[in-house]
Amino acid sequence: MSTSPSETSTAVAPAATVRIIASPQSWVEGEAVRQLEAVARLPGMRLAVGLPDLHPGKGAPVGAAFESEGFLYPYLVGSDIGCGMGLWDVDLPVRKAKAERWAAKLDLEGAWEGDAEAFLSEQGGKATGFEAALGTVGGGNHFAEVQRVETVHDARVFEALGLRAERLLLLVHSGSRGLGEAILRTHVDRHAAGGLTAGTAEARAYLERHDGAVTWARANRALVAHRTLEGIGATGRRVLDVCHNSVTVRHSDGRVGWLHRKGAAPWDEGPVVIPGSRGALSYLVLPVGTGEHSAHSLAHGAGRKWTRTAARERLKERFSAESLTRTVFKSHVVCEDRDLLFEEAPPAYKAIDRVVTDLVEAGLVRVVATLAPVLTYKTRGRSAE
């Protein structure tokens, strides 16, 4: 098996392969590698790929993609089924941005005052009983971020997407909220971290609920975008929307397999945005090559460098909460949960430029543009998640 400066590979008995796509300059924790190798030993597993943002998760690593045959594993998808990112072109020039004013008034907390079920139906979804959370960002690393274009690297692709360098953009990162957690809990109560045999009634039932949550999550991002745009007095057009946590069927060489993504962007759905921390650039990239080597997947972000507990302990000694509401880009951060403010601070994450460089060197993407934060919305208070 060949290797390159952006990749290391090892075989795991009996047949599954572990592949880590990361350069020697990228820090990948040993625990994340151990988790990746453990997943590769599961029944039916054929391939486990760690991407440059690989880091330890709850039982399985984040920033990874897994291909299996005969079995699918809800635990690898996790509780936030359908979590992903959507990008909107905002009909507002950068020169009219009012970040400080927006930071003072923008509020995405609580249930949307409109008809959530009707909005969900318009987006192709069905009511689930979790509609009170529809249109909310959620906790953890989720956000809604108004951005400006920093640099255009590929004008042809950039313009083909209908984008203009002088206009603002909106990036929304959120998922299925409590719906995905309820679906996983139903599975875990019966099977713990065990998988499901493909083609069984239980597998089909899970996949139906899973697909519903993916649609719900996409609708959630659309409603978060709607509320954000309304809050800043603008309109927008959705440019792309990709899912990071899912399991999908794949047909290859006459075989039926299952591709699990846990914190991994799709390589095979067109351009994607790979964001850094709230104090770093985001990268709009175009997938290139064949995608087979990376399980048709890409990094979905910078990836955590420190655990949340470590970030709180280290950063509270170095920064005040107030200082973390502004970034090196002079952008504003709305986060009234003090612990979350430290947990999600830029130093807690890996360097996004290194992550993207690894993908470029591995022949997986071409950079289209870099995007800088103007306003990052996290929460007005403690998340109820």
Return the amino acid letter for 325. T
SS3 233: coil
User: Which token pair is 341?
Assistant: 């403010």
Q: CA-CA distance, 222 to 237, in Å (whole number)? A: 10
With 0-12 / 13-18 / 19 or more C-beta atoms within 10 angstroms meaning exposed / middle / buried, residue 1 is exposed
With 0-12 / 13-18 / 19 or more C-beta atoms within 10 angstroms meaning exposed / middle / buried, residue 377 is buried
Q: CA-CA distance, 122 to 68, in Å (whole number)? A: 34
Task: Considering the candidates 173, 244, 300, 332, report the single residue annotated as catalytic.
Answer: 300
- Sequence-separated (6 or more) residues with CB below 8 Å from residue 141: 173, 301, 344
Label the pairing between strands 84-93 and 167-174.
antiparallel
Assess contact for 172 and 88: CB atoms under 8 A: yes
- 289 CB neighbour count, 10 Å cutoff: 13
Q: CA-CA distance, 62 to 43, in Å (whole number)? A: 20
Q: How far lies 327's CA from each of 301, 331, 345, 346, 353, in Å?
A: 18, 5, 10, 9, 17
Assess contact for 168 and 74: CB atoms under 8 A: no
Q: CA-CA distance, 288 to 285, in Å (whole number)? A: 9
Q: CA-CA distance, 172 to 56, in Å (whole number)? A: 24
300 is catalytic: yes
Q: CA-CA distance, 302 to 265, in Å (whole number)? A: 12
Active site positions, annotated: 300
